[in-house]
Amino acid sequence: MNLDDAPAPRCTICPRQLLDHEAGRFICTPCEQRIDQDLRKLAGPAGLYARLCLRIQPGRRGGDGPAVSGSPGARLPVNETILSLTANGGIVSTLETWVEDWASYGLGVHGTGGRLQHRVDTAVVTLRRNLGRAAYRHPALDEFGSEVGKIARQAEAIITGEKKPRVIPVMCPCGTVTGVTLNTDGFTCRDCRTEYGHGEALRLTPVRSAA
C-alpha cells in the first residue's frame, strides 16, 4: 500500500481508482453501467419483474388461504419467494424507497402510484434517468447497487431455475482462501484486509479443491 502518496479517490463499489475524467464521482463508469443494466433488466413487459409475476402459481379461485394445487407437488416451492418479491413491499418497494431517497438529493421525483408493474417501470425509469447525476451526488450508491444487483440476480435465478451460483475458492497473495462467485461484488480479505473489486476478485488465482 502506498501511504506516502495522496491516495487517488476510489470507486465506492469496486473499488477501482477513479480516472481523471471520473473526478468528483462516487463510483466508476463501469460500475454505473452495471447498475444501469440491472435496473433495465427489471423493468418492462419482458423484464425480470414481469417474468416473475408470470411464475406465480395462482391460488384457488376465491380462496384467500394458501394456494391449493390440483396435483401434489405441482406447486413450486419458490412460490412464496416469488410472491414476496412481486407483492407490494417486495421489489417495487425497494425501488420506490430508493426513488424517495434520491428525491431528497434532488435526483428525480416519486411516482404517482398505479399498478405494481407500472410502479416498477416508473421507478426504474426515474432511477436510470438520474443515475448519471447520482454517480456524482449520492454517497450510498454502493448500497443501492448491491440491492439492485441482488434483486436482479435473485429474479434471474428463479426464472432460469438456477441453483445457487458456483462458489470458486480464490487465494489472496497473503495465502487466505475466500469463496467467491461470478456475481461477486468483491470482498475484503479477512486476514490482510486487502479489498478486491468484482474484476480483481475473479482475477485471483483459483484454488483447486483437494483431489
Q: 13 or 124: whose CB is closer to Zn ion?
A: 13
Provide, rounded to whole angstroms, the least separation between the CB of residue 148 and Zn ion: 14
Q: Does 14 bind Zn ion (CB under 5 A)?
A: yes
Q: Which residue stretch of 39-47, 87-95, 182-190, 201-209 sits at the interface with Zn ion (rule: CB under 5 A)? A: 182-190
Give the three cell numbers for residue 85. 418479491
Q: 14 or 99: whose CB is closer to Zn ion?
A: 14
Residue of 48, 12, 41, 4 lying closest to 135 (CA atoms) = 12
Provide φ and ψ at 76, rounded to 5°.
-70, 135
Provide, rounded to whole angstroms, the least separation between the CB of residue 140 and Zn ion: 14
Provide, rounded to whole angstroms, the least separation between the CB of residue 190 and Zn ion: 8
Provide, rounded to whole angstroms, the least separation between the CB of residue 209 and Zn ion: 20
Q: Does 174 bind Zn ion (CB under 5 A)?
A: yes
Residue of 141, 184, 182 lying closest to 32 (CA atoms) = 141
The CA–CA distances, whole Å, from 139 to 65, 100, 135, 144 equal: 43, 15, 8, 10
Provide, rounded to whole angstroms, the least separation between the CB of residue 141 and Zn ion: 9
Judged by CB under 5 A, the number of residues near Zn ion is: 13
Q: Which residue stretch of 62-70, 120-128, 146-154, 193-201 sits at the interface with Zn ion (rule: CB under 5 A)? A: 193-201
Which strand (E) or helix (H) includes residue 170? Answer: strand 168-171
Q: Does 35 bind Zn ion (CB under 5 A)?
A: no
Provide, rounded to whole angstroms, the least separation between the CB of residue 22 and Zn ion: 9
Q: 189 or 201: whose CB is closer to Zn ion?
A: 189
What lies within 8 Å, CB to CB, of 138 at 6+ separation is 26, 102, 105, 107, 144
| Chain residues 114-173 in contact with Zn ion, contact rule CB under 5 A | 172
Q: Which residue has the cell 432511477?
A: 127
Q: Does 28 bind Zn ion (CB under 5 A)?
A: yes
Q: Which residue has the cell 452495471?
A: 34
**b/e string for 17-51 if b means 16 or more Cβ within 10 A?**
ebeeebeebbbbbebbebbbebbebbbeeebbbbb
Q: Does 31 bind Zn ion (CB under 5 A)?
A: yes
- How many residues are listed for the chain in this entry? 211
Q: Does 189 bind Zn ion (CB under 5 A)?
A: yes
Give the footprint of Zn ion on this chain (CB under 5 A). 11, 13-14, 16, 28, 31, 172, 174, 176, 189, 191-192, 194
